[in-house]
Every structure is written in C-alpha cells, then in structure tokens.
Amino acid sequence: MSKEVQDKAQNTAQEKDWYEDLVLRSGLAEHSGVKGCMIIKPYGFAIWENMKSVLDARFKATGHVNASFPLFIPKSLLSREASHVEGFAKECAVVTHYRLINDPEGNGVIVDPTAKLAEELIVRPTSETIIWNTYKRWIQSYRDLPILINQWANVVRWEMRTRLFLRTAEFHWQEGHTAHATAQEAIAEARLMLDEYAAFMENYMAIPVIKGYKTESERFAGADDTYTCEGLMKDGKALQMGTSHFLGQNFAKAFDVKFLSKEGVEDFAWATSWGVSTRLMGALIMAHADENGLIIPPKLAPTQVVIVPLINKQTKERQDDFDAAIDKVKSELQGLSFLYDDDDTKRSGFKFAEYELRGIPLRITVGLRDIDNGVVEIARRDTMQKMSVPFDNLGETVRNLLTDIQNNLYNTALKFREENTTKADTFDEFKEVLNTKGGFIYAHWDGTKETEAAIKEQTKATTRCIPMDNPMEEGKCIYSGKPSKQRILFAKAY
C-alpha cells in the first residue's frame, strides 16, 4: 500500500466516533485501506443478506425480475442525459487503461502507457444510462411494456468524507429500472415501490419513516420527481433511507427509446428507478443501538436466540440431566435461528457482553438449579429484562417474545421520533431547535430554491421532504416570511 493510502486510512480511523466504534466492535464492518471502500464482515453481511432476501421476495411478488448490466459505462453514454451527468460527474471513478507491465526502468509494476482505452469507462455510479441504452433494443411496441427489472449490484460514487455503511465510495444496492407506456403507470410504479420500501423499513427494520416528495433541488439527477423514505436516527439526524424516482421521458429521449402504442402512435417510454443500499445497515444500527451495543430486530437477526449453558463441576457430575435439558431447549427452538455456545474457554459474563454488543434479541441461560426447577432464564436485549420461564411451551414463549421485541423496537423508535419532532414558526425557533434537540422540524417554506439554499447554508439543515399525507395549513415561510400553504420536513441529515 502506498504511504498516502496508509495515511488516509489512519486519519479515517482517528475520526471514529461512537457509531464507527460500534460498527467496528460489533464486527459488522471495517475500513479496507482502499479509500472509501469498506469490508463488510460476516456478521454484517449476514444481516444484509436477510434484508436482501426479504426485499427480493417483495420485488418478485410485485412482478419484477432480476438481471445484470455492466459495471462499466462508456463516458459518452453517461453524458447523454445532461442533468444526469452533471449530478454524477464530480464523483466518477474512471478506468483509462487495461494493462500493467513491469517498468523497463525497474520501478516495479506500472500502468502500461500503450494500453490506453480509446474511450474512458466510468465505474457505474447508477445504471440508468447503460440500461436505457439497452432498453432501446428491447422496446418497439406497447407489447414490450412494461419492463420491470431490478439489479442487485455494487456501484461507486467517489466520496471525500466516508462513514461505514452510511457513506462509502463503493456500496451495494439494488436498483429497479422500469419502462412503461404511460406517465400514470410509471408514477404508480414509483409510488408502489416507495410503499414497498416503507413497509420493509417499518415491518422488518422496525423504523418508522416519513414518505414524501423531494424538493426540486434535492431530486435525483435526471428525475421529474423523487419520492423518499426519511428516518430519524438516535442522534437526532435524519437519514434518507430509500428513494424512488419518476424519470418522466428524460432517459427515453436521451436514448431515443420509442414505442408504438396500441393506437399506432409513436411515443417515448416512461421510466422509473428506485433503490435502497447498504446504507440501510447504517439506519438499522443508528435507530436501535443503545449503550450496550447493537439491537437487531428479530425479523432480520441472523441469530435470533443464543443459548448459553452455565457449565461447572456440578453440571459435569450430572451430564445426562444437563444434556437432556439442552436438547429440550434446542428442540423447542426448531425453525428459529439459534446458536448454542458451549465454548468453555470463555466466561459466561464475557459471552453475555459479547452477545449484547452484537444485538442478539434473546439470550437463554441454562443452569442446573433452573433445570431442577423446570425453568430457564431468558434475557431480552431490547429491555435488558431477565425472566424465569418454564420449559413447557418454551418455543411458544420465545416466539411470542421475539414478536414482542420486534413491536417494541418499532414503538420505541416511533416514540423517539414523536418526541423529537418539533414545529418551528420562526427562523430563530428553527435554529434553536437545531442547536438543542435536533430531530425533525416541520416548518413553512416559500417553495423557492433560494430560501432552501440559504437555510441550508446558515443552519446545515436541509429540506428532507414534503410529506405525502401533509395537512394543508396557511402560514409564512420561516426564512422569507412569504406565504406558504403547508409545513415541510427539515432536519440535519447524513
């Protein structure tokens, strides 16, 4: 590794805070030494796999199919849609050569200057351009529509300041790209996928979200409209957790994708795109973690229950009784994902702390005295509450507890959001809230880019969205004092 790359890795490590510290200590991910690229460790990846699996099933249930498009996009293709390339140009990783050689002057391995590409290739920051260049070949008639395709992929957006999961140069995501015969149908698709995202975030991740429209200046580069799910993290900052875009005919026009309608009229196809990424891992951590570590919602936990036997001299003397009790516990947990940890090189207290750190929803402790009493001890990770539970119907008890934890996490997050949502009527109030409690702020805005930019510059808070179920209310813009018809959602955000 070059000195420079090492130094950068070092600096990043020094900047770590409670969040990064937690991600590192709980074994979810770490920095790789390659600027902005992280290593997702097995425990982190197992959670991401669970997320993928639920989302993928929902995409398929709503009629989508998976496919795979190239990692590289020729520069000329990326440049075809003007606002799109403008949005991504600043963060493009560019492949310019295709060979290494041994330096004839003895400086080791160098890039072969004769192996220069005629046209540079961009490592995809998102795939609208390469996909619509393909759809041009696939779409001629209304019979070819809709096209409902999703891709699970890695993408690269060069970032100067990175943060594990939340902002990385390379990240994993899914990107849906659909083509439709009418604007109406495309809008319905974009809304449907936003609803799917929100349902996933609330029902699986246990994070309540505000669904809304992005303002024009916060829209995806190339979109006519961007819908978003905004979550509130425990540090009072907002996180954009997923977006769905109505792209109008912008990409169809840029790539000349026309179809003949049922009525024989030629028109450009209508598009959507929508994506969620490994950033959701960051949300999962930041929405639930406490001073003891992660709390993983049971529906996404790779290990839902850990069984820790309390092994000592007595248990060894009555090994058969003990083994029978353990077997009974295991058989009650069939169908759940559980881990039996009988590693006798580690103390129980150490194990307890470790599994708490990793956010395993339930811990079952099995000791000889409890066995004789026909019970086991169960500890909930969310409330840290311990309880003595009979062997009888243990499986049902555990299942009920897991459901309860899932619900409790959601309700706790919802309560936190409610407590950290404020209405501000003046700019002073607005700033005061930001400086004290943070969180979501509903405030009137005059609808202009200028006001939006000024508020952002002076407070670092941004417009998160215009909520979809927003009540109409007469008011005055907190910044300009001009009339406004509704409050919109502001916050400092990741």
Our finding on whether 33 is near its own copies (CB under 8 A) is yes
**Of residues 100, 199, 339, 353, which one binds its own copies by CB under 8 A?**
100
72 vs 391 by CB, closer to its own copies: 72
Residue 320: exposure state from Cβ atoms within 10 A (0-12, 13-18, ≥19): exposed
| CA–CA gap between residue 242 and residue 343 (Å, rounded) | 41
143 vs 386 by CB, closer to its own copies: 143
Looking at the DSSP bridge assignments, the partners of residue 339 are 306
Helices (H), 420-466: 427-435, 449-459
Rounded to 5°, the CA angle 494-53-292 comes to 50
For the bound state, the minimum distance from the C-beta of residue 75 to its own copies, rounded and expressed in Å, comes to 6
Our finding on whether 394 is near its own copies (CB under 8 A) is no
For the bound state, the minimum distance from the C-beta of residue 458 to its own copies, rounded and expressed in Å, comes to 28
96 vs 184 by CB, closer to its own copies: 96
Q: Which helix (H) or strand (E) holds 56?
A: helix 42-61
134 vs 228 by CB, closer to its own copies: 134
CB of 384 closer than 8 Å to CB of 181: no
For the bound state, the minimum distance from the C-beta of residue 29 to its own copies, rounded and expressed in Å, comes to 9
Q: Give the relative orientation of helices 394-419 and 319-332 as an angle to the nearest 10 degrees.
A: 60
Our finding on whether 68 is near its own copies (CB under 8 A) is yes
| Closest by Cα among 289, 383, 359, 428 to 46 | 359
Task: Give the footprint of its own copies on residues 113-172 (CB under 8 A).
Answer: 118-123, 130, 133-134, 137, 149, 153-154, 156, 158, 170, 172
Our finding on whether 386 is near its own copies (CB under 8 A) is no
Q: List Cβ neighbours of 275 (8 Å cut-off, separation of 6 or more).
A: 126, 173, 174, 175, 176, 242, 243
Our finding on whether 37 is near its own copies (CB under 8 A) is yes
Q: What is the DSSP letter of 124?
A: P
**Of residues 108, 264, 335, 349, which one binds its own copies by CB under 8 A?**
108
**3-state class of 311 per DSSP?**
coil
| CA–CA gap between residue 399 and residue 362 (Å, rounded) | 10
For the bound state, the minimum distance from the C-beta of residue 131 to its own copies, rounded and expressed in Å, comes to 9
Our finding on whether 261 is near its own copies (CB under 8 A) is no
49 vs 235 by CB, closer to its own copies: 49
CB of 238 closer than 8 Å to CB of 492: yes
Our finding on whether 78 is near its own copies (CB under 8 A) is yes
Our finding on whether 92 is near its own copies (CB under 8 A) is yes
| CA–CA gap between residue 257 and residue 389 (Å, rounded) | 64
For the bound state, the minimum distance from the C-beta of residue 150 to its own copies, rounded and expressed in Å, comes to 9
Our finding on whether 74 is near its own copies (CB under 8 A) is yes
Our finding on whether 93 is near its own copies (CB under 8 A) is yes
Our finding on whether 99 is near its own copies (CB under 8 A) is yes
CB of 357 closer than 8 Å to CB of 298: no
55 vs 92 by CB, closer to its own copies: 92
| CA–CA gap between residue 176 and residue 271 (Å, rounded) | 10
Binding string to its own copies for residues 47 to 66, with x set by CB under 8 A, is what?
--x---------------xx
Our finding on whether 274 is near its own copies (CB under 8 A) is no
Pairing mode, if any, of strands 440-444 and 421-423?
parallel
Taking CB under 8 A as the binding criterion, the range among 40-48, 292-300, 327-335, 439-447 that sits at the site for its own copies is 40-48
CB of 416 closer than 8 Å to CB of 431: no
Tell me the number of residues near its own copies by CB under 8 A: 68
| Closest by Cα among 204, 163, 265 to 58 | 204
Our finding on whether 76 is near its own copies (CB under 8 A) is yes
**Of residues 71, 357, 466, 468, which one binds its own copies by CB under 8 A?**
71
220 vs 322 by CB, closer to its own copies: 220
- Which residues of the shown chain bind its own copies in the complex (CB under 8 A)? 1-2, 4-5, 30, 32-34, 37-42, 44-46, 49, 65-79, 85, 89-102, 108-109, 111, 118-123, 130, 133-134, 137, 149, 153-154, 156, 158, 170, 172
